Amino acid sequence: MSRTACLVLVLLSAASAARADTPERGLAGLDEIYPKLDALYIDLHKSPELSMKEEKTAARLASELKALGYQVTTAVGGTGVVGVLKNGAGPTVLLRTEIDALPIEEKTGLPYASTAKAVDLNGKTQPAMHACGHDIHMAGWTGAAALLARHKDLWHGTVVMIGQPGEEIVQGARAMIGDSLFKRFPKPDFAIAVHDSSDEPAGKVLIVPGFGMASVDSVDITVFGRGGHGARPHKTIDPVVVAARTVLALQTLVSREKDPLEPAVITVGSIHGGTKHNIIPDEVKLQITVRTYSPSVRKQLLEGIARIAKAEAASANAPREPEIKISESQDATYNDPALARRLETALAARLGKANVVEGKPDMVAEDFGELGKAAGAPSVLIRIGAVEPKNPSRSRPKQCRGVSAQSHRAIEVQPVRSRRQHRHDFGREDRSVSNVRFRAPRAPVRRHR
């Protein structure tokens, strides 16, 4: 499943120095290792593990890196994996993959569909599935690691391979950073990650300079009332009605209070209250997700949610203020514009401008950006199309793995600028990256946080 590895290698070459006389050598051996990568992808897809409980997955990735000659450390930030490959003087580049799956029952009917059950952090047994493409990412990441180890004569510097746990609950990056990631291991000059895209055709590469993904906050609200018989509502304070008014009023934060030019989303994804048709309950629970890019808008919406919830409760003479809890918070993912443009220019030169396009920011969330921020390094998360071009309902891991159905046989790796040069020389001709061919993924479902 791993011609995505080619893309990762291309991205790496954009930030590490290499010889200029080696066209088409960087991918030599890809066809040889491809069956093994495909088998790895299928095995990972069949054996998913939930966030921060990815012991077997981490062990598998660590074993793959050790066999390639990387210096490997496990249990970083819980179940994180770090592999370091030093190859003389030069930039340090971080390549990250996520390793966790989602608590979703797979219903694809594929011969390698997951039937796994896994225990989450709360001790609950759940169905598990790689529904967000992390199996694709891991296989591609492993392939990139293999090609980099095989072709050390084509580049110089240090590669830091990060297998990050807990991305789906936006805890893993911070956990690894909190475990002294950049004190124990080389601090990167560049940080790069790849994510498949469920709404773009296989063979497309999308780069989004600036904000690429939104911030996220999960808000839990408990609305209190005074329960009683449904036939005597006048003797109750109905929290269902208070909750319903709250849900509607919250939408005015986006439509009437926020600057209309600032993107934002408030979605009430869950509302629970009561046990029977004719019983008014004592409380109702709301679960809300909030998405923004601007920190000031984020603050405005969170404060507004609390204000409206309290005001609606007060207007109904509720016995107490609602409880409001904010969790699973994550800042927006910001792609360094200069690095993004360099990668876009270099990839387009080799893959064709039609295949490398500027994508639109998305309101889904990611914690990859925490790694770049903690290291003080420019970072970019690139998206790769994963959908069968003639059938948007199907994704094609095999095509996505490589990044273009026409060009998986060659990479041209050429000299690249240092991080300092990257900052000051952006806009000059970029001759840093490669020639990659794509194939698309197998996994049929893709979900983002």
Provide Rg for the chain, Cα atoms. 24
Q: Element (H or E) spanning 138, and its range?
A: helix 134-150
Residue 117's beta-bridge partner residues? Answer: 127
Q: Determine how β-strand 80-87 pairs with β-strand 125-127.
A: unpaired
Query: Between 337-351 and 4-13, two packed helices, what is the crossing angle to 10 degrees?
Result: 120
Region(s) of the chain under CATH 3.40.630.10 = 4-213+333-425
3-state secondary structure of 178: helix
- How many other C-beta atoms are found inside a 10 Å radius of the C-beta of residue 66? 13
Kindly give, in sequence order, each residue whose CB lies less than 8 Å from that of residue 196, ignoring residues fewer than 6 positions away.
4, 133, 136, 137, 383, 384, 385, 386, 395, 397, 400, 441, 446
Given CATH 3.30.450.40, say whether it is the number of domain 215-330: no
- What is the rounded CA–CA span in Å between residue 361 and residue 214? 8
- DSSP-derived 3-state class of residue 411: coil
Given a cut of 50, the residues of the chain with pLDDT beneath it are 1-2, 4-5, 8-23, 396, 399, 401-417, 423-445
Contact partners, residue 394, CB within 8 Å, separation at least 6: 387, 388, 444
- Per the structure block, which two tokens stand in for 252? 């005015």
Determine the residue type at 141: W
In angstroms, the CA 289 to CA 11 distance is 33
CA atoms within 13 A on the CB side of 439: 20
User: What is the per-residue pLDDT for 65?
Assistant: 98
Task: Report residue 155: phi and psi, to 5°.
Answer: -150, 165
The helix, strand and coil proportions of the chain, stated in percent and rounded to the nearest 5, come to: 35, 30, 40
**C-alpha span between 319 and 100 (Å, rounded):** 42
Query: Of 1.10.1060.10, 3.40.630.10, 2.40.480.10, 3.40.720.10, which CATH number belongs to 4-213+333-425?
Result: 3.40.630.10
Structure tokens, 398: 């095999």
Looking at residue 303, its pLDDT comes to: 98
Closest CA to 345 of 418, 416, 440: 416
Distance set, CA 395 to CA 47, 330, 359 (Å): 20, 28, 19
Q: How many CB atoms sit inside 10 A of residue 314's CB?
A: 12
Neighbouring residues of 162: CB distance < 8 A, sequence distance ≥ 6: 80, 81, 82, 94, 95, 96, 97, 176, 371
Report the sign of the C-alpha dihedral through residues 219, 220, 224, 230, in that order: positive
According to the model, what pLDDT value does residue 155 have? Answer: 87
Residue 276 CB contacts under 8 Å (≥ 6 apart), including other chains = none
What DSSP assignment string belongs to 5-48?
HHHHHHHHHTTSEE-SSEETTTTTTHHHHHHHHHHHHHHHHHS-
Instruction: Give 341-373 pLDDT, tens digit per residue.
Output: 988 887 787 778 898 999 999 999 999 999 999
In the chain, which segments carry CATH 3.30.70.360? Answer: 215-330
Q: Which distant-in-sequence residues (6+ apart) come within 8 Å of 85 by Cβ?
A: 68, 69, 70, 71, 145, 148, 149, 158, 159, 161
Residues 251 and 380: their CA atoms lie apart, in Å, by: 32
Contact 438, 7 (CB under 8 A): yes
> What sign does the CA torsion over 40, 44, 45, 47 have?
positive
